[in-house]
Homo-oligomer: A and B are copies of this chain.
């Protein structure tokens, strides 16, 4: 397969790992060699894990030649510094392909393998169904593997594709030598259905209501199959020798059919083989489906002992076999929908790094950063450790940067607002910025027995996002349900942070840097003012004119005052007498986050909080001073995410002096979630080349060698803040809507029209599709809005002046 979507990663790109798995299902990832890695389907992150004996093998016998058998993985390069070498069950000692390439635009991975010694070509398309606006069909605990096998030779060739899978449903454990150990009870059975054959992995020793209860099912639609329900239960590593000799013998599997569960020791490994005879030049597709069912999880963030609850998918499915049957039944439509979305993502009219970023930053919402419970509630960590979430509580200040899920699964995004405003907003409007109460837990850390500080960007971010969710959904029942919380939260904000009533927060302002700013400063103030305006807009929608006018007036007051206090002629500073009176301020520093509140306001149709020329000047200062093209001499005493000759946007700089003795923590760091919103702001102001340069630098750091292209970290893997990349989309298309009032507006950036055509997707709760604006031969512009799911009945569509909308 020489043509593919997205960037290509060779076998040496050891960090590339494309996550399969749905919303709230966990993941298993495909590495650049084609190896299955990072088995995170057991309700926990699990970076670096793998399953023994789990790989695909190809065995090919061309007419008149010898059999060739290869593990369908690329070569293993890199460091080999293990204390005991690679264990036999890694399969790394087995013959494999000479080359492999991983590519793909999320949600579809593409792999191809090549080896001159192998008589057939093999490529793979792998995905978990992804259907925008439909989290249930995007949350199926499964992975689909479509193998395309081509016989380029002039003679027929018998080909076996053998998918081997360790019984991880019975647990995965190793002794200190890496030998497999298990508690016994592992038994794999085969089920023959009309259209597919399945190996089922269950363990009767484990109660269905136990936390560790798990099922796996591996199936294929091949008509000619063979299988092993167990590899040899022998000594040492004989199971590998025996399997390999069986496969390489005649390409077909012989079953041991032990008929009993395993005793204490290794679990069984199952192998399912699809056999096809390819005529000269023929190509065939063989599909395997892996499904899992690990329904039970603890109802807590981090406690080791807590009541059990279930994943949302346990509302939909009763077993791994049930998932399997559903996927096979609906395979055509699920495949079509997934490819359609991928095609939109890979062809939209944005520079390649931006397209790449948009697809990649969908991942967090389908990673272990998020979970979705059977009670319908959706929660998110900030990100993940290798083996646990980090940090807990759907943190309001981190998630306020995220736009991806609001568009793709607005129903889930609204659910988070519901929790925030109906559970976590107290009677006085104080909002706990981490959700603990639904689990009967208390968020206390860091403040001893005091109530945690309210978080200004988090709290105002919730109000802004309530407005966004309302715009996208027009869901009045939902808005009504949260509205009293919104009122209390907004009132608390100005009463708590703006005690002198000048429209500027000036008290102790806890924020996303996990510290407190003091005095007037751009991050707090613009978030505050944007939040007031969003609150006013929501009040207006609710007919609450008194609050609408009050908050609007307060915002007006603050806007003027803010410029007086903080504008230094080039950008906004923190207005503070002694920058060292408290540690962790920024003072005269150019804060990269300073315009974030403004950007929210822009993208959500709330208008300018400060004059446009100040926005432009500030963006220019940020770009000029904070975007570094070398970190070689950079003295960063904080966490290091970017280094040596990489490029990146630091959080703050002090080109005009005035650096505090202890600047705010994180000030020297580089966060992709922040780089994206600056890029989006640059794009929204028409600076597409600077925006592209930022995003290109960011994505270049995620090159598969140094970092995983599908995992942007900050305080954890698959960090939620990185979903700010989806601010790029409305920044590019000028998309704003109000589904209550029934209108959508497009105003694509002029520079995107240089190619005479601009194609960008749009999303609302009721429909999603593509906006296309094309120059005609007569020089005029036409626009179309193509609906790919849902409908826009009765929705007015506004396009730029002079553009003719085809309906």
Contact = CB atoms under 8 A, between A and B. Distances in A.
B117 A633 contact: yes
A388 B176 CA distance: 10
Nearest to A669: B85
Interface stretch (A378-386, A408-416, A761-769): A378-386
Contacts of A583: 235, 238
Given A79-B15, A634-B95, A640 B85 contact: yes
Contacts of A713: 81-85
A237 B75 contact: no
A14 B706 CA distance: 13
Interface string A697-711: 000010001111001
A82 B715 CA distance: 10
A644 B717 contact: no
Contacts of A641: 80, 85-86
A303 interface: no
A643 interface: yes
A786 interface: no
Interface string A626-639: 00000011111111
Contacts of A606: none
Nearest to A668: B93
Nearest to A92: B640
B665 A237 contact: yes
Nearest to A76: B643
B639 A87 contact: yes
Contacts of A88: 637-640
Contacts of A634: 93, 95
Interface string A280-302: 00000000000000000000000
A238 B238 CA distance: 55
Interface string A300-311: 000000000000
Contact of A639 (B93, B637, B669, B708): B93
A177 to B, nearest CB: 8
Contacts of A632: 75, 95, 98
A716 interface: yes
A665 B87 CA distance: 12
A376 to B, nearest CB: 29
B639 A85 contact: yes
Contacts of A643: 76, 80, 86, 92-93
Contact of A93 (B77, B90, B234, B638): B638
A88 B638 CA distance: 5
A390 B640 contact: no
B665 A93 contact: no
A381 to B, nearest CB: 11
A635 B717 CA distance: 36
A640 B90 contact: yes
Contacts of A14: 79
B80 A707 contact: yes
A636 B93 contact: yes
Interface of A: 14-15, 47, 75-88, 90, 92-95, 98, 117, 176-177, 234-238, 240-242, 244-245, 248, 383-386, 388, 390, 583-584, 632-641, 643-644, 661-663, 665, 668-669, 701, 705-708, 711, 713-717
Query: 10 shortest A-B CB distances, which residue pairs?
Result: A93-B636, A93-B640, A240-B637, A86-B640, A241-B637, A85-B639, A85-B641, A236-B665, A92-B640, A15-B81
